[in-house]
Chains A and B, each alone.
Chain A
Amino acid sequence: MGILCFMILPVQCQRKSVDDSLTEPTREGTHEGRPYGASFPSESEVERHVYA
């Protein structure tokens, strides 16, 4: 348990240095390594028709 805490704490303390590319909000997501958009219309594409 103690070893686990020592492994996690440094990551928590350095969270602001995490690569931005991992933290950018995304609407696409992935499914089994493929973007959802590959087989389904993306959410934004569907939403595009809601408003005039």
Chain B
Amino acid sequence: MSTLENGIRCSPAIHAPGERQITFAQAIHEAVDEEMTRDERVFAIGEDIAVAGSVFKVFVGLYEKFGPERVIDSPISEAGIAGIGVGAAITGMRPIVDIMFCDFATLVMDQLVNQAAKTHYMSGGKLKVPMVLRTTMGAGSRTAAQHSQSLHALFSHIPGLKVAIPATPYDAKGLMKSAIGDDNPVVFFEDRALFQQVGPVPEAEYTLPLGQADIKRTGDDITIVATSSMVYVALEAAEKLAEAGISAELIDPRTTSPLDAGTLIQSARKTGRALVVDEGYRQYGVTGEIASVIADGAFYYLDAPVKRIGAMSVPVPFSPAMEDLTIPNADSVVEMAKTMCGRG
């Protein structure tokens, strides 16, 4: 934790004076590069990831460094790519399966949900599936309903899968390295809006455990739990709330499965109020699970009902004006937080 001029304490993932600054995309690239260098069993497969370096250019240079046997361009068949990944993982490799948009991860549900997630359990622990499925999420890039969803809740629902959803370059690198080294299938969500986000990342080797939330900013009056790009929405909201005399604590779960319930409950008990913000659909979403965990663990400490803000229950519109209406923003977070604090 570092302390800002106004006395607010911040996570090193947000504020680290003197530290090297790189983008989220560079952080992912570094993590994959380091793990492929460290372990020859690690390879990547996906559409346009090799020669093109992936459509979002995160893998540029890896094909030239590691060659066509370890950075593999695949046909346009998500089910096939994921199936190859599961098989390779069971037989001792450590694949990184690249699915361009999480909207297309619906095509790999059998491979992930019925095979990867259950292989260890159904084999009595004899087999394991150390595979990372990295994919992108998020609205705001005007790519319409089939390329804008945030479907991490679907995978968080499944026992046997782990789900990472980092917000900062620091978290992205540390979690990606842990995901590649994990013996379980990990679904790794990267928000496309964050690829050019710059943040502090140490040059020295480090990893971050899957299942440990991060207190991005300390506060006393209300806990805001936010995931992925919503962390920045919540940070902006926290600044506006501070101007209104409301001190907001910001918690980033970093992984939705496993979920660090202890940190969430502890913060809610301290502040007495909790607001959950996530870009996935609100109905049956991640916000519902987190709100339930907090209500259960901090009920007698709460001064207001746990509230949540998610994407509207509509296909993400192509019209920019309408798209912006459907996803949470700083103003909607501020308005809800003020109401919860009796300042609305």
Tier of interface size on chain B: 10 to 19
For residue B160, which residues in chain A have a CB less than 8 angstroms away from its CB? 50-51
Contacts of A51 in B (CB 8 A): 120, 160, 162, 184
Interface assignment of A34: CB less than 8 Å from any CB of chain B: no
A31 is an interface residue with CB less than 8 A from chain B:
no
**Chain A nearest Cβ from B122, distance in angstroms:** 10
Contact status B184-A52, CB under 8 Å: yes
Which one of A18, A47, A49, A50 contacts B300 once the chains associate, using CB atoms below 8 Å? Answer: A18
Q: What residues of B have a CB within 8 angstroms of the CB of A23 in the complex?
A: 299-301
Contact in complex: A50, B301 (CB < 8 Å): no
- The tally of CB-CB contacts under 8 A between chains A and B is 31
User: Which residues 282-337 of B have a CB within 8 angstroms of A?
Assistant: 296-297, 299-301
Bound state CA distance, A52 and B124, in angstroms? Answer: 10
Q: Do A50 and B299 have beta carbons less than 8 Å apart?
A: no
Cβ-defined contact, A16 with B128, below 8 A:
no
* Contact (Cβ within 8 A) B297 A25: yes
Contacting pair A25 B296 (CB below 8 A) = yes
* Interface of chain A: mostly helix, strand, loop or mixed: loop
- 1/0 contact trace for A25-36 toward B, CB 8 Å? 100000000000
Q: Closest residue of chain B to A23, judged by CB?
A: B300
- Is B121 an interface position by the 8 A CB rule? yes
Cα distance, A16 to B125, chains bound together (Å): 45
Q: Does A50 contact B297, Cβ atoms closer than 8 Å?
A: no
Tell me the minimal C-beta distance from A52 to chain B in angstroms: 4
Interface positions of B from 248 to 276, Cβ below 8 Å from A? 261, 265
Q: Taking the nearest CB of chain B, how far is it from the CB of A48, in angstroms?
A: 10
Please give the number of chain A residues whose Cβ is less than 8 angstroms from any Cβ of chain B in the complex: 10
Q: Is the CB of B183 within 8 A of A52?
A: yes
Whether A49 pairs with B125 at a CB distance below 8 angstroms is yes
Question: Are B300 and A15 in contact, CB atoms less than 8 angstroms apart?
Answer: yes
Contact A49 B121 (CB under 8 A): yes
Q: What separation, in Å, do the CA atoms of A18 and B302 have in the docked complex?
A: 12
CA distance A47 to B159 in the complex (A): 9
Chain A residues with Cβ below 8 Å from B184 are 51-52
Q: How distant is the Cα of A23 from the Cα of B183 in the complex, in angstroms? A: 35
A11 nearest CB across to chain B (Å)? 11
Known pairs A25-B261, A49-B121, A51-B184. 12 more at Cβ < 8 A? A23-B301, A25-B296, A47-B159, A49-B120, A49-B125, A51-B120, A51-B162, A52-B120, A52-B125, A52-B129, A52-B130, A52-B184
- Pairs across A and B, CB under 8 Å, 25 listed: A15-B300, A16-B300, A16-B301, A18-B300, A23-B299, A23-B300, A23-B301, A25-B261, A25-B265, A25-B296, A25-B297, A49-B120, A49-B121, A49-B125, A50-B120, A50-B121, A50-B160, A51-B120, A51-B160, A51-B162, A52-B125, A52-B129, A52-B130, A52-B183, A52-B184
